[in-house]
Amino acid sequence: MSKRRDKSNAIPEKDSATPSQAMQVSGRLDQTRDRVLEIASRLFLLEGYGPVTVERVAREARVSKTTVYKFVRSKEQLFEISVALKANRRVVDDPLVVHDDDDLQPAFEKLGRNIVAVMTDPETLSLTRNVIAESSRFPQLAEAFHRASVTQFGRTRLIKWLEKLRADGRLQIDDASTAASQFLGMVRDAAMPRLLLGLSVKPRDLDRNAVAAADAFLKIYRPQCLQKSEKHV
């Protein structure tokens, strides 16, 4: 007696699949990929890079190790993609760059506060500490984290905004990339070392530093004619 093959869950062959069936297969793969990356992100965040294995991620996602390797080439790439997706969501939910057509002072103050909110996020700090702890053994991990970090995404958007402000004549900037690094540094450097060490920083001090950074940045890069005219408003 021949065995009957259950085709209810089989993936249709490429040549025989209808467009509808192909879309269903693609949708299932997308859902599986999203689940794998979500679980990988959670494990990396909670346990650091070293202890997490591809086998562990596959087991918790209830898929095979082979399935995970359909989406990524290595554990390092799994880390980079999961961190990048998290950073993308954070930037979309809480944009690092704001736009104000009337006065740049409140716009840059809000930008500074947004940067503070990102750098004080407990998950971001935990992941950063984990990467620092593993960077000597896995230098490529630190590079991947740097490329995928929410700060790097925000810096790219900030550069584009500064270039627009320069084109509009509202800021006098020779190098938007350098100016972006300067502003981020003024906001971050006063508190980040303490935060990474797990030391407390008072919220009012963080806010005061964000305002001071905005003021100092605009004194450097806002055209003198605009600074003088705003003093008389």
pLDDT tens per residue across span 93-142: 555 666 666 689 999 999 999 888 888 888 778 878 877 887 787 777 77
Token pair of 150 as six digits: 């929410």
Helix extents (H) in the chain: 19-47, 54-61, 65-71, 75-93, 104-119, 122-134, 139-148, 150-167, 176-188, 192-196, 203-221, 224-231
What pLDDT was estimated at residue 177? 96
Are 219 and 113 in a shared domain? Answer: yes
CB 182 within 8 A of CB 173: no
Are 99 and 174 in a shared domain? Answer: yes
Give the residue numbers spanning the domain of 109.
86-231
Query: Does residue 14 form part of some domain?
Result: no
Between CA 161 and CA 176 the distance in angstroms is 9
Element (H, E) at 54: helix 54-61
Q: What is the pLDDT of residues 178-223, one digit of tens each?
A: 999 999 999 988 788 888 888 888 999 999 999 999 999 999 999 9
What pLDDT was estimated at residue 183? 95
Please report, for the domain that includes residue 71, its CATH number.
1.10.10.60
Query: Does residue 64 form part of some domain?
Result: yes
What pLDDT was estimated at residue 167? 94
